[in-house]
């Protein structure tokens, strides 16, 4: 399928061919759900901690005698039934993270990209950066494509430091992120570090032209068969 490539001024420049194995798949809701849940679980800190009755500071002495008072029997003041006592089955520090199969995660990313194409919420734009690094300049560009919408910008990024264009791409990405740091509901994703949560909930996905080609290389049919 073909999509128009826009300039930063909003003019259509040319057409680009989208790989159907990345942008034209049937949407798989299940794998999208699993991928988003996995990302949210991996972000959980898991530091919540409570004390049970063996950890609460207090006396082990029986507060009053067992019988004859007409009150409930008490073993000590640290009982979970008393104020200041321990907590029954309270949370303890734990690791909530887990992994899902790589093929499932790849399919989730392709399903989300395909969903955005089907809903006409994916825009391809020429490679650009904000030389000034100012929010004002990026906001002008962004308002042409995603006015008052939650947006995601997918940019190109050099893979290895020894690549010829590594420093140039790194500088462009840094200026772009700096300019967008103060814009609410705007996320930046590298083509090789996609996040299902940001992609799915982004009302407008803006992909730089070079990133489209890299996505086809990374997620395309040939890479799956390799």
Mean pLDDT for back-to-back runs of 10 residues, the chain (226 residues) = 86 87 91 95 94 92 93 92 92 94 94 92 88 87 85 81 74 84 88 91 90 86 59
The pLDDT assigned to 175 comes to: 85
**Looking at residue 191, what is its pLDDT?**
86
Cβ neighbours of residue 96 closer than 8 Å, sequence gap 6 or more: 41, 42, 44, 46
Reduce the secondary structure of 150-191 to three states and give it as a string: CEEEEECCCCCCCCCCHHHHHHHHHHHHHHHCCCCCEEEEEC
Tokens of 102: 């790589």
Query: For the chain, which residues make up each domain, given as ranges?
Result: 2-29+101-225, 45-95
At the topology level of CATH, where does 2-29+101-225 sit? Ribosomal Protein L4; Chain: A; (3.40.1370)
Cα–Cα distances in angstroms (integers) from residue 83 to residues 55, 60, 77, 91, in the given order: 15, 15, 9, 18
* Structure confidence at residue 225 (pLDDT): 56
* pLDDT for the residue numbered 97: 95
| Long-range CB pairs of 106-110, under 8 A, 24+ apart, other chains included | 106/219, 106/224, 107/25, 107/28, 107/31, 108/28, 108/31, 108/32, 108/34, 108/35, 108/36, 108/196, 109/35, 109/194, 109/196, 109/199, 109/219, 110/21, 110/22, 110/23, 110/25, 110/219
Which pLDDT score is estimated for 70? Answer: 94
- Which 3 state secondary structure label does DSSP give 211? helix
Residue 84 DSSP label: T
pLDDT at 223: 57
Contact at 8 Å (CB) between 151 and 204?
yes
Phi-psi region for residue 120, left (φ > 0), alpha (ψ -120 to 50) or beta?
A: left
């Amino acid at each position: 399928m073909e999509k128009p490539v826009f300039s930063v001024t909003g003019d259509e420049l040319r057409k680009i061919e989208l790989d159907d194995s990345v942008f034209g798949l049937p949407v798989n809701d299940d794998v999208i759900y699993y991928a988003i849940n996995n990302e949210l679980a991996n972000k959980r800190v898991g530091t919540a901690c409570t004390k049970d009755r063996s950890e609460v500071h207090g006396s082990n002495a029986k507060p009053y005698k067992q019988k004859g008072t007409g009150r409930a029997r008490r073993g000590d003041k640290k009982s979970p039934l008393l104020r200041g006592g321990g907590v029954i089955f309270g949370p303890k520090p734990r690791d909530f993270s887990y992994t899902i199969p790589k093929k499932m995660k790849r399919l989730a990313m392709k399903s989300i990209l395909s969903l955005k194409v089907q809903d006409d919420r994916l825009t391809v734009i020429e490679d650009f950066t904000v030389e000034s690094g100012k929010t004002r300049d990026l906001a002008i560009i962004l308002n042409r494509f995603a006015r008052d919408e939650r947006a995601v910008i997918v940019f190109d990024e050099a893979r290895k430091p020894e690549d010829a264009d590594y420093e140039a791409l790194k500088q462009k990405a840094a200026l772009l992120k700096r300019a967008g740091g103060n814009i609410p509901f705007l996320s930046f994703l590298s083509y090789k570090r996609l996040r299902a949560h940001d992609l799915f909930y982004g009302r407008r996905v803006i992909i730089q032209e070079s990133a489209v080609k890299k996505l086809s290389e990374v997620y395309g049919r040939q890479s799956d068969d390799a």
